[in-house]
Structure formats: structure tokens, C-alpha cells
């Protein structure tokens, strides 16, 4: 499970987290390069090794 962005404390986030279901631990990913602007209420899709984020 991947979590991209979000909102809290009057702030939009652009960080990326992944949940390892086998050990139930969250890890923040270092995505490198240019990060998208912080966002919430968006959708994302994975195609091959690319992630496209819509809206937010």
C-alpha cells in the first residue's frame, strides 16, 4: 500500500509512504528528483514503473 501526499495541520504534504503488509511497518520513501506539490483528495495509478497523480 502506498500513500502519496495528504493534508493536516493546515498543510499539504507531498511525501510518499509504503506499508509492508508482511511486518506491518510504514517506511517513508525518498523519491529523489523533483517532488510534486503537496496535495490531497487526488487519485494515482501505476503503469509499469511510473506513477501518475491526478487532481489534488
User: Could you read off the pLDDT of 13-48 as tens digits, one per residue?
Assistant: 989 999 999 999 999 999 888 877 888 889 988 899
Please count the other Cβ atoms lying within 10 Å of the Cβ belonging to residue 40: 13
The residue segments making up the domain with residue 12 are: 2-55
Q: Check the CA dihedral 21-3-27-35 and report its sign.
A: positive
Domain count, the chain: 1
DSSP 1: -
* pTM (predicted TM-score): 0.74
pLDDT at residue 34 in the model: 83
Amino acid at each position: 500500500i502506498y500513500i502519496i501526499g495528504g493534508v493536516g495541520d493546515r498543510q499539504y504534504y507531498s511525501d510518499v509512504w509504503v506499508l509492508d503488509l508482511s511486518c506491518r511497518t510504514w517506511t517513508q520513501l525518498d523519491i529523489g528528483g523533483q517532488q510534486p506539490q503537496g496535495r490531497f483528495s487526488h487519485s494515482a495509478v501505476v503503469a509499469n514503473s511510473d506513477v501518475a497523480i491526478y487532481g489534488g
